Amino acid sequence: MLRAFLHSLVRILLFLLVRLDAQGLENIPPSGPAVLAANHLSRLDPPLIFGLVERRDITALVADKYKKYPLIRPLVIAVGGIWINREQADFHALREAVDYLKQGGLLGVAPEGTRSRTGALTTAKTGAAYLVERAGVPVIPVAIWGTETAVRQLLHLRRPSLHVRFGKPFCLPRLARGDRSAGLQCNTDEVMCRIASQLPERYRGAYTDHPRLKELLAGQGQLLR
């Protein structure tokens, strides 16, 4: 009940307070497990995705530091968020996330591990790729921009423009028995380059010159500048 109320409230606030440009929602399957892998610019990113996605089984990995926030903690619990310690390899949280996916859930993750301080993509950790490998589920790359300045604009009584792109689901190759670390890094780069390919150039950050990103952009017919 509370979850449905929160979903409706977020949608109303988005309609009233921002100019929203969301594309690719049709790429989210109506059921079945998948990982929504998104870049992270602002605390507004998770509620933005939560409000846009219609599925009732969407949740996310959430940094456990927010347990100390009296306004955020009950909201995370209400939507079934999975607490994770981002300062270490939190295998308990990862096991919980794998179980959730194997039960058919939709899980949001931020491969970068935290909000970008530069306003562009930072080098991602391999945790998201590890999670996808263990659960054996597809990835839906999600690109977000505009949220990094949204709060400041709202405080100045301006309606910010928020942009979200949901890419087509894709599957990462299974890791070989040999050098799993190299395989995880390669899969991580694939996820991040898929996200980067949906972002304006100024947001591509650490992946701007990645060869795989150039391949993806060339395939989309985009000019590389």
What is the sign, positive or negative, of the torsion defined by CA atoms of 74, 80, 81, 82?
A: positive
Task: Compute the distance between CA of residue 15 and CA of residue 13 in angstroms, rounded to an integer.
Answer: 5
Tokens standing for residue 8: 């409706």
pTM exceeds 0.85, yes or no: yes
Q: Kindly tell me if the per-residue pLDDT of 103 is higher than 90.
A: yes
Task: Compute the distance between CA of residue 147 and CA of residue 206 in angstroms, rounded to an integer.
Answer: 19
What is the rounded average pLDDT for all residues in the chain?
Answer: 94
- Quick one: pLDDT at residue 222? 61
Task: Compute the distance between CA of residue 42 and CA of residue 145 in angstroms, rounded to an integer.
Answer: 9
Domain boundaries, the chain: 2-220
- Quick one: pLDDT at residue 70? 87
Least confident range of 66-70, 101-105, 129-133, 145-149: 66-70
- Quick one: pLDDT at residue 90? 82
- Quick one: pLDDT at residue 140? 98
- Quick one: pLDDT at residue 224? 43
Tens-place pLDDT, residues 198-207? 999 999 999 9
Q: Count the neighbouring beta carbons within 10 Å of the beta carbon of residue 129.
A: 27
Task: Give one DSSP letter per residue of 169-187, joined into a string.
Answer: PB-PPPPPSS-HHHHHHHH
Fold of 2-220: Glycerol-3-phosphate (1)-acyltransferase (3.40.1130)
CA neighbours within 13 Å on the CB side: how many for 161? Answer: 1
Tens-place pLDDT, residues 33-87? 999 999 999 999 999 999 999 999 999 999 999 988 888 999 999 999 999 998 7
Q: Count the neighbouring beta carbons within 10 Å of the beta carbon of residue 177.
A: 7
Q: Kindly tell me if the per-residue pLDDT of 223 is higher than 70.
A: no
89 vs 135, residue with greater confidence? 135
- pLDDT exceeding 90 applies to what percent of the chain? 85
CA neighbours within 13 Å on the CB side: how many for 93? Answer: 20
Q: Looking at the chain, which runs of residues are DSSP E strands?
A: 19-23, 34-38, 58-63, 82-84, 106-109, 139-145, 161-166
